[in-house]
Amino acid sequence: MARYTVHGRTQDECQQALDDLLAALPVTMALRPTRSPTGAWIARATRKAPDQTVRGLAVQ
């Protein structure tokens, strides 16, 4: 699963960055713009594997 985070100085700036990301990539919003403890605004988006299969070696 790929995860993306966008940052902004204001809520509007963060929302615009998230909108641009959603338009550019096949991702879904995971976190709406929210203020972080540092005062900056962040939002997140994710993209799952196309077939939902975990890649890599299986460990038993």
pLDDT, residue 24, reads 95
Q: Model-level pTM?
A: 0.76
pLDDT, residue 1, reads 77
Helix, strand or coil, per DSSP, at residue 41 = strand
pLDDT one-digit tens code per residue, 2-60 = 899 999 999 999 999 999 999 999 999 999 999 999 999 999 999 976 665 666 666 65
16 in Cβ contact with 47 (< 8 Å): no
Conformational region of residue 56, where left means phi above 0, alpha means psi within -120 to 50, and beta covers everything else: left
